[in-house]
Amino acid sequence: MNRFGFFAVLLALAVAACAPAATPTAPPVEEPTPTPEAVPALTGTITLWHAWKENEIASLNEVIAAFQALHPDVQFDVLYTPFDDLRGKFET
């Protein structure tokens, strides 16, 4: 090997030695998956006073049916009260 080749190899080794060391990557840490908390089942009776008109009752029954599909242990006691009497019933 001639002098130029020797110095070229020496320079390449010196440059390689000055390069920063590879940083080790930490292994991925597995986080525990949170378990969903059990929600206690709803039970009981809901008393609903309303002054809705007859054409609005179908919508109310749809909402009640959808709720009872999710919570079958909940019963509804739906009572029609004329609008003029409704406030007095709430106050008593």
Interval 27-81: pLDDT, tens: 778 888 888 787 778 899 999 988 888 888 899 999 999 999 999 999 999 988 8
- The one-character DSSP state at 25 is P
pLDDT at residue 1 greater than cutoff 70: no
E strand or H helix that includes residue 47: strand 44-50
Q: What's the rounded Cα separation, in Å, for the pair 62 and 74?
A: 15
- Can you tell me the distance from the alpha carbon of 89 to that of 9, in angstroms, rounded to the nearest whole number? 99
**Nearest C-alpha neighbor of 78 from the set 63, 42, 91:** 63
Q: What is the pLDDT of residue 64?
A: 94
| Count, residues in the chain | 92
Residues 78 and 47: their CA atoms lie apart, in Å, by 6
The pLDDT of residue 5: 74
Say what the pLDDT of residue 68 is: 94
